[in-house]
Chains A and B, each alone.
Chain A
Amino acid sequence: MGQENGSAEKGDDGMSGTDTSLLVIDTSYGSTVGLPGREPCIETDSRSHVERLQVNIAKVMDQAGLSADDLRTIVVGLGPAPFTGLRAGIVTAKALAFATGACLLGQDILEPQARYAYSRFKRQGQDHARLLVLAVNDARRRQLYYRLFDDFGGAEAPARPLTEMGIDYPAAIGEKIAAIAEERESVDQGPVALVISGHGAGRYADQWERLDQHSDIRVMLDEGSFLEDRTRGTGLMAACASIRAQHGLIDPVEPLYLRRPDVSVPNPLKHVAVQS
């Protein structure tokens, strides 16, 4: 992660979060398409990307009275997420950027998810406990994508992740996070409050037991994606991408698959040794 590939192709004058010429496209779960500050178009069916995604883009643009030529910046979700849908969103964004000349920014979804959780849980009287956020996304096959974040250094600074992005079974993620939280306790001399936030947080509620058993870690579950928040979702994506870009953190616009491709090698046949 954090690989840099120079600066964005076009000027950064389309970067402000309220700019109507900024389009957000994400297909990390179902799909969310929107212009920050306006009603987004959200699909929950993860198998309708080929049919619906471009239609939805046209719809939100039409509703805003904009045409493709007005696009200045496109922010696209890079996952981590299961394969096919993610790719549909990224290739769509790349093709739009190519055809319109808009600046294309990729944004992983775990950082805005963590910001989203942090903003909603930090004021809930956490007894001065250190607030950590474990952002997750459902990877199917009983696994989750995850990344652990510490306190945010303020609204205008990039997030401070404590781990790399990963994929694992919830119970195994719980083990790793408990170990990190214990370490933090000894450093900070205080209790830790942990929000597990994203798709899969609640679904695997019974699997966070390693964390629950730990008396000094208070666990709160926050099921659902920030992208389903109709008023804040697209704005958060745009803001994260914008902050990262301002700090020179331009991620390559490539899908964060994390999982290796499924490969089944055909049955071995009895070979006749020949030179070809």
Chain B
Amino acid sequence: MSEPLVLGIESTCDETAAALVQGNRLLSNVVASSMNEHARYGGVIPEIASRAHAESFVPVVSKALKDADMDLSQVDAIAVSAGPGLAGCLAVGVSGAKALAWAAKKPLYGINHVIGHIAVTQLQFGPFPQNALALIVSGGHTSLLHVDDLARSVQVVGTTLDDAAGECFDKIARLLGFPYPGGPHIDRHARLGDPHAIAVPQGLTKGRAGAEHPYDFSFSGVKTAVARWVERRQQAGLDIPVDDVCASLAGSVATVLSRKAMAACHRFDTDTLIVGGGFSANSQLRGKLQEFGDQEGVKVRIPKINLCTDNGAMVAMLGVNLVQAGLPPSAPDFSIDSAMPMDRILM
């Protein structure tokens, strides 16, 4: 087969997205976000997101095909995120994708959204090396994965024991009064502050806990420490040095993630770290990973900002890997799995 052409469809959270990828070339990439509708509630409201998916599904798919000057009959396969994500949102994308696949007589792959986040880096950097390590960081996930074969074999090396990194940022952002989503605000203020201004713990890096969980993460301590510090300042009638708070938080989180990722690279003797997920747009993390990678001789592949957030390209790209590996498509009655485990690539 020449390079497979795959339509990827994404609807796990607040983005309805579709893209066409051929081989590792991105032909079109359309994203409709319902984020503005959630902003006033301070977080994603599943029912509102799901309604938006139902409205946007066909227009987004249609535009992705049109932008690539393609017709549904020309694609080799369709891929759709089957999990993890919000059940009501997944149900819309998967139902629509099943209908498209049946009507157009195309194989359908129900894929793992999180694995898509790392697959998408191939659009920039080409195929994965045989033995790669991946760091997934998003609002819902913080994990280190060992990837032997992106289509068939992914193992979880470490994961967060409590909050995800993005979640920790969101909570501090709310405490500081930033509008939703708060991550970009913390990022911007952090660039202006002193990362050493506040002593912030680095979870699971020291002592027995650190030794027992060398590749796991914990961010609840960071969150609590920052929140207490801010509250004490308020009670003492002092103003809050917002830039320093943000810089200390971001610096601590970025350092822990980078240090543990590098340690895992050494442990698995790999020279390539793949990074993915919405939180990989964070500039402190991007900077730290590059810095540590240069020091340690590890090539760090971080996607462009517009490919960090949820999109259809990541789904299509993983679909290309599955087609190229010759894997059979998902069964017609496959389910969604809102808690799809990270080592499951395909439904």
Contact = CB atoms under 8 A, between A and B. Distances in A.
A91 B264 CA distance: 43
A272 B229 CA distance: 12
B61 interface: yes
B92 A261 contact: no
Contact of A95 (B96, B105, B178, B179): B96
B104 to A, nearest CB: 5
Contact of B95 (A50, A68, A266): A50
A87 B177 contact: no
B325 interface: no
Contact of B47 (A53, A263, A276): A263
Contacts of A57: 99, 102
A83 interface: yes
Interface in B73-99: 87-88, 90-92, 94-99
A98 B101 CA distance: 12
Interface string B52-71: 01110110011000000000
B54 A91 contact: yes
Contacts of A84: 50, 87-88, 91
Contacts of A89: 95
Interface residues on B, range: 35 or more
Contacts of A88: 91-92, 95
Interface residues on A, range: 35 or more
A51 interface: yes
Q: Which of B53, B62, B103, B189 has the most C-beta atoms of chain A within 10 angstroms of its own C-beta?
A: B103
Q: Is the interface of B mostly helix, strand, loop or mixed?
A: helix
Contact of B175 (A90, A95, A269): A269
A99 B71 CA distance: 9
Nearest to B184: A276
Given A83-B50, A100-B103, A94 B58 contact: yes
Interface stretch (B25-33, B296-304, B333-341): B333-341
A274 B47 contact: no
A123 interface: no
A99 B88 contact: no
Interface stretch (B38-46, B154-162, B272-280, B314-322): B38-46
A54 interface: yes
Given A50-B94, A266-B43, A274 B240 contact: yes
Nearest to A257: B51
Contact of B332 (A49, A55, A83, A261): A55
Interface in B143-192: 174-179, 185, 188-189
A128 B88 CA distance: 49
Given A52-B333, A83-B50, 14 more contacts: A49-B91, A50-B94, A50-B95, A53-B95, A54-B95, A54-B102, A91-B53, A91-B99, A93-B99, A95-B96, A96-B103, A99-B72, A257-B51, A269-B174
Q: Which 6 A-B pairs have the closest CB atoms?
A: A99-B103, A95-B99, A261-B47, A271-B177, A54-B98, A68-B103
Interface of B: 41-43, 45, 47-48, 50-51, 53-55, 57-58, 61-62, 72, 87-88, 90-92, 94-100, 102-105, 174-179, 185, 188-189, 230-231, 234, 240, 242, 332-336
